[in-house]
Structure 1
């Protein structure tokens, strides 16, 4: 078996070693047992978000450094990203508010995505060249054009005026087709980013019932009429309401909503995911955004940030999540640009005046899952002897088994990975993350 360790205190990053099984059928203590025959949800993949800010920061690098930064995420030797997200119209991590039509154009005759050619599309195209498998892309709107909204503003919440529901659905379809014409396929679309949040930046409010109605009566018919195969995700917001909203989206008449997207900003709430998985097993759960906001978290504590990522990823997958999409792929040294000053961290930060980039510790912690858990893997059963260790396990399509262990405590923890009568003893160092890969021969 291969053991992969990241322990910043000992300057270890994806450090590899070997281990073997021992036959210990009667061991009872310190066990973390995996059950390959107990299978749960498939894994769709891992990735991050293409934002205008990410493309802007990346554009400051030389051609050589750009290629390196792309390989860090998308190559086989990088994080193996293949499932990514982008924004429709502007978002907070854009240089300014913008949309794809001129103000007041109800006919959508002026629709054009050419503004995305400055920073967004070049980054997406180059990233697609680096992926081992074909890239899968999700798109989310932060706000309709201001003239379609109740507050006449792309920022500060507001709602989509009823008279524009059909027009907005046509607008979203025009976006999908425009990207297709540029060679970029959109596979998933969410109805609205964070539909409960009135933000200083691009935002728009929907109730869950309004999301369902918009999907069922407007967006899905427009997608089908255009001959497109695009799956619709609802919510795209925090976990604390995932279950109660699922009961709106997925119960009763209509099946326009394919799955539910969620973020992490309101806390763990893993039980919400579990309840959706149990009650709506045919619906997907996809993590679509999480970041370290400088306004909420310690900007300089990379260890706490990295552990927050791994803890959330492990907990989400253990409760039914099928994919993990991080927020900005790249940001500049300030944590932007951001048109309202809402700065945050990214796993790779770019020093725009120095032609350099820096991998944060979160980059490695994310990689302990994304590098080794392959698309179409399935989560398998796991049982821990202690809550001092976060752990999850997967069976890859090639039948290799991947188990991830996270120790967020101040103490080293001894654990024995067990599969049937076989045991492998591990020393899980304080504040470390370890991935064990058993290849099948």
Structure 2
């Protein structure tokens, strides 16, 4: 009997020793982009710093499901790609869409022309053609469509495309102009047909459309370039009584319809109209937003309000860029400096000037994407993928910056730090990932995390300050210590445990 007790004791002791010897080190891959020069660089050696931060992941706490990350197909970008050598054209498209590149998964394109077109044009050129018998996407066949098809060929997983109109043709509007004005009520059904025709025309080219925003910037753009105005209730009426029923009748009821599509400070009044009741919300799949109300304010209260108003609807950042700036060529350091301005730096009303300070372009992207992910946004789409050294071309000379800048005359390509910043999210947080909870001991270090469908977890950290930080990361009683450099963004990938 005593021998049996001794054996049991020995087995228990061995089990305890075995448990104590289980490796509790978390296995991770760390990728960093920094002002010091890292560019999505895999980091394997770390230096301890004086500032220590504790981050604990809570994968059992889940939030929104990710739709995707990406950029917009514009005529300006497509035109520039056509001017590049075949090698550089492929290099840029692979950099955005291949698995080895940024692996973009959510994209946008304009329906009819926009400010980043070379001229004003419409798919409905014949005045009074209410049945759209002369509908044509011929304008897109030399540039936009080849760009999209080459991107599809480069992508292993595919990507979603949503279309956005800036305006109907002038003959459908009350001011008979490309800029401003409203859609005449007699053309509401014609305009709904326009969306259905667009899907069919692109389908015939081998391109599937995932959805739409109803109107780019329905509040207008200061009457500068293509625009068409709606009030919240006018847009809700159009979707509820015209666009939604038309798509449904044409067997296209699975297409996503996103309302609003402008700056976050007015978000409440738009979702109040869209989601007023079951009838008004029936055809809306979600809401699209822009960031131009501020260079650094995320507007978390508005985002939370939109989510709470209709928790099962999408909330997608559909456009963002560093606007009102000519790109700085081959100077990575500039993109980390607080020198860039935006339209509001000079033009915003005095009461809003504090929302438009000089601000680092990298900070602007990284802070906003993390802030959005931490406030229920499920998709984040950049504006032009490619622009030239002047910030164009576009017919209005509305210069902006893109993550990739080209000099077509000399066949040169510059991947700015904004490209790597976007890739920190798009490459590692995949569609259908779930944003998960985390506890962060340092309010100055921005952090977000998501668990991918394959079980891996991606954590994105952004340290915008001048001091590096030592990170203690823990998950399920496993932990690891590493560091993030000053002025750096990191993606930490934890393989499926």
Q: TM-score range by the shorter chain?
A: over 0.9
Moved more, 181-190 or 269-278: 269-278
1:145 maps to which residue? 169
1:23 maps to which residue? none
1:356 maps to which residue? 412
Moved more, 237-246 or 389-398: 237-246
2:353 maps to which residue? none
1:24 maps to which residue? none
Deviation at 1:338, TM superposition (A): 0.9
Q: Does 1:81 align with 2:121?
A: no
Unaligned 5+ segments in structure 1 are 21-28
Deviation at 1:388, TM superposition (A): 1.3
1:250 maps to which residue? 275
Whole-angstrom CA distance in 1 between matches of 2:123 and 2:475: 55
Q: Does 1:95 align with 2:154?
A: no
- Checking the alignment, whether the CA contact within 8 Å between 2:126 and 2:134 is kept in structure 1 is no
Q: Does 1:320 align with 2:376?
A: yes
Summarize the Cα distance change of 1:55–1:298 in structure 2 as closer, same or farther, 3 Å threshold.
closer
Q: Does 1:264 align with 2:287?
A: no
2:430 maps to which residue? 374
- Checking the alignment, whether the CA contact within 8 Å between 2:112 and 2:167 is kept in structure 1 is yes
Residue 238 of structure 1 is aligned with which of 263, 287, 295? 263
Whole-angstrom CA distance in 2 between matches of 1:414 and 1:209: 51
TM-score (normalizing by structure 1): 0.94
Q: Does 1:277 align with 2:277?
A: no
Whole-angstrom CA distance in 1 between matches of 2:380 and 2:454: 21
Deviation at 1:427, TM superposition (A): 2.0
1:25 maps to which residue? none
Deviation at 1:279, TM superposition (A): 3.0
Deviation at 1:172, TM superposition (A): 1.8
- Checking the alignment, whether the CA contact within 8 Å between 2:450 and 2:457 is kept in structure 1 is yes
Residue 249 of structure 2 is aligned with which of 220, 225, 235? 225
Counterpart secondary structure, 1:276: helix
2:317 maps to which residue? 287
Whole-angstrom CA distance in 2 between matches of 1:200 and 1:51: 18
Q: Does 1:201 align with 2:257?
A: no
Unaligned 5+ segments in structure 2 are 1-27, 47-51, 337-359
1:158 maps to which residue? 181
User: Following TM superposition, where does structure 1 have runs of at least 4 consecutive aligned residues deviating by more than 6 angstroms?
Assistant: 296-300
2:42 maps to which residue? 16
Deviation at 1:298, TM superposition (A): 8.9
Q: Does 1:423 align with 2:479?
A: yes
TM-score (normalizing by structure 2): 0.84
CA RMSD of aligned residues (A): 1.8
2:392 maps to which residue? 336
Deviation at 1:440, TM superposition (A): 1.9
> CA offsets per residue over residues 218-250 of structure 1, 9 Å max, x none?
001111121113111101111112233212101
> CA offsets per residue over residues 341-367 of structure 1, 9 Å max, x none?
101010011111011211010111111
Moved more, 236-245 or 321-330: 236-245
User: What is the number of residues matched between the two proteins?
Assistant: 431
1:435 maps to which residue? 491
2:344 maps to which residue? none
- Checking the alignment, whether the CA contact within 8 Å between 1:333 and 1:352 is kept in structure 2 is no
Whole-angstrom CA distance in 2 between matches of 1:287 and 1:405: 20
Counterpart secondary structure, 1:416: strand
Whole-angstrom CA distance in 2 between matches of 1:355 and 1:298: 17
Moved more, 265-274 or 91-100: 265-274
- Checking the alignment, whether the CA contact within 8 Å between 2:106 and 2:160 is kept in structure 1 is yes
